[in-house]
Structure formats: C-alpha cells, structure tokens
Amino acid sequence: MGSEECVPKELRVRVPTYEDVRKRVLETFPQSVVVPRGIKKQGRERVRIYKYLVKCERVFQVIASEVSRVARLPKTDAMHPFYAELIRAALGDEYDAVVERARRCVKVVSRLWKEYRSKILSSYTGSEAKDLARQFVGRALSVVRRSLRGVERLITALSELRKLPCIDLSSPTMIVAGMPQVGKSTLVSALSSAKPEIAPYPFTTKTIIAGHLDLGFTKVQIIDTPGILDRPIDEMNPIERKAIAALTTLNAIVVFLMDPSPDSYYSFDRQVRTLESVSSLIGRDRVMVVFNKVDKVGRSRLDECKKLLESKGFSVELEISALYGYNLDQLVKKVLNKLGVQLPS
C-alpha cells in the first residue's frame, strides 16, 4: 500500500459509549476477589475492606481503559486537513469537545479514585468500606456519563469515515468535478489503470470513486465526485459544502468537466453558475475548466460556449472526449504541470 492509507490507525479504535462503560463496570464490580493469606490473618473486617478496595481498583482500571480510547483520539488540529474537514463536516466542534471531555474525565476519575482509595483503606468496618465503594462507583459513572455525552454521533461519524476508499494523502491528485451526465465517471474509468474503488462518501448519501493512473515515473490519484455536485452549490447543505472543501485539502487540481452540447442534461448556463459557485468555494487557481463530449459538438457551438465563459472570467483549458479518448494525454500533461510534477525528458 506504500504511503496509502484508508483512515489513520488512531481513528480506527473502538470508541465506547457510556452504556458500554457502565455495563463493564457493573460486570466487574461483583467479581470475586482472592484475598492474600496475610490479609485474612487480620480478621473478617479487614478482609471485607480489602475486597471492596480491590473491586474499586478494578472499576477504576475499567473506566480509565475505556474512556482513554476516546481521550487518545487526535484533535482535529493534529490531523491531516482532509480528515479534519470531513469530521468537522459531520460534527462541527463537537468532536474536539468530546475528546477534551474524555481527557478531563480520566484525570477527574483518577483523582476521585485516589480520594476514595484513602478513605476505604481508613475504614474501620466492612460496611463502611462497602458504602464508600458504592459512592465511588456512582460518582465515577456520573463523571463518565457527563463526559461521554455526544459520543454516539462521534462513533457514527468515525464509522462512516472508515468507508472511504484508500486515499494517498501525498500523491498528486486530480479531482473530477462537474454536474451530472457531463462524463465524470467515464473520464475516471478511461484514465484509471485499475477498476475504480467505490464506497459511500462520509456524511452524505452519495459516493466517492477513487482510481489511479500509473505513469511509471509517478502515480496520479483520480477522484470522482458524483453526488457532491449533483446540484448547484447554493442548494447544498453545509455538510456537502465542507465535503467539497475537504477534497481540496489534498494535493489536488480540480478538473471541472462541462458538457457544451445543445442537448446536455443540464443547460450550459446552469453549468456555468455551478462552476462559479465551486470556484468561489475552493479558489479559481485550483479549478481547470475542460469541455467534454466535443466529438458531438460543432465548432460554432464550442466558440459560443467559450465566449460565455470568458465573459464570466473563465477560460477553457482543453477540449476532450472521454468516451473516445481524444486529448486525454494532453489532459494528463496539463494536470501534472499544474501539480508541479516534473515530466521525464
């Protein structure tokens, strides 16, 4: 797999809910305790005190172990921006808030256990130790419950994130964008040397397709964005907008495909409006406008569409036919040049 990764390993951990922790605590506390011979010689009350001390120690270890799974998750500012943006798209600031609460929880429960350990050791009777043990468990679980609020949404978001196709965060990347039926998937399939990998795109009901073009001296990652641009940006919800922004955190150039044919699925005017919206969101310097399906469009129509784009401040960098392979080699060269990849002499 090389430098390729699906999701960083620190985001693949099992994250517990409060109910998960509570269940383990309630299973652990009643478990029998083996009492050393030296304690037994100290009498029945010391034996009972020892047992409750050990039970609470076990409960503390369970809580610390389980909550630490959440506490060890990286904050978004410590992640690659690609994953950070996807998580923010799903949870906003709640992800970092849950992680921070978990970190504080471990510290609070540690201090609580230190306090109750001293109290239980100082108990005079088994009944006193029992009451203190129950207090500790109750207070500790209360801290956990408050700290892990919102963790269910975090678990759902991480589960969706793991469904991403493997993305190489350092590989030169071409993102194929555009409205439906402009030939995005056809282009990805034509350029990819392997069958594109398909998986649900996190936090939307859409899909993302990732393929690769192996040129020998380098490998270009090709990402199709069906679903993300199925409607103009101004009709998208904030999650979909952030999903697009997340893709631009890769080392990527966005090839915005347009269908200039008179019978295109969406009118050319609407495609131009979507291009404007996308460019305003991710920056014009990242966008490369490409006409597709030119095999069925006359020269006069192409010139007419170009003039409309020029009036909006855009220029068409290339005309291609993904279906017939026309100018695809030139497309790859232009993308590599924009990515700063040195072509072999």
60: confidence class by pLDDT, cuts 50, 70, 90: very high
Q: Is the pLDDT of residue 19 over 80?
A: yes
Of 75, 214, 222, nearest to 154 by C-alpha is 75
pLDDT > 70: percent of the chain: 89
Mean pLDDT of the chain: 86
pLDDT of residue 205: 41
pLDDT tens digits, 310-338: 999 999 999 999 999 899 999 988 998 88
Q: What superfamily in CATH does domain 166-339 come from?
A: P-loop containing nucleotide triphosphate hydrolases (3.40.50.300)
Asked if domains 9-160 and 166-339 share a fold, the reply is: no
pLDDT of residue 207: 61
pLDDT tens digits, 152-186: 999 988 887 777 777 777 788 888 888 888 888 88
pLDDT tens digits, 245-264: 777 777 789 999 999 999 88
Buried/exposed 174-204: b ≥16 CB within 10 Å, e otherwise: bbbbbbeebbbbbbbbbbbeeebbebebbbb
Distance CA 131, CA 135 (A): 6
pLDDT of residue 292: 95
pLDDT of residue 86: 82
Show me where the domains of the chain are located.
9-160, 166-339
Q: What does CATH list as the number for 9-160?
A: 1.20.120.1190
Q: Are 40 and 47 in contact (CB under 8 A)?
A: yes
Over residues 242-247, mean pLDDT: 70
Q: Is the pLDDT of residue 232 over 70?
A: no
pLDDT of residue 261: 93
Q: Is the pLDDT of residue 1 over 50?
A: no
The residue to which tokens 């439906």 are assigned: 180
3: confidence class by pLDDT, cuts 50, 70, 90: very low
Q: Which residues contact 193 (CB under 8 A, 6 or more apart)?
A: 211, 212, 213, 214
pLDDT tens digits, 185-225: 888 888 875 455 555 444 444 566 777 787 878 888 888 77
Q: Which residues contact 105 (CB under 8 A, 6 or more apart)?
A: 67, 71, 143, 144, 147, 148
- Residue 58's beta-bridge partner residues? none
Strands 318-319 and 219-224: unpaired
**pTM recorded for the entire structure:** 0.77
Over residues 298-305, mean pLDDT: 94
- Residue 258's beta-bridge partner residues? 291
Distance CA 63, CA 136 (A): 12
pLDDT tens digits, 111-146: 999 999 999 999 999 999 999 999 999 999 999 999
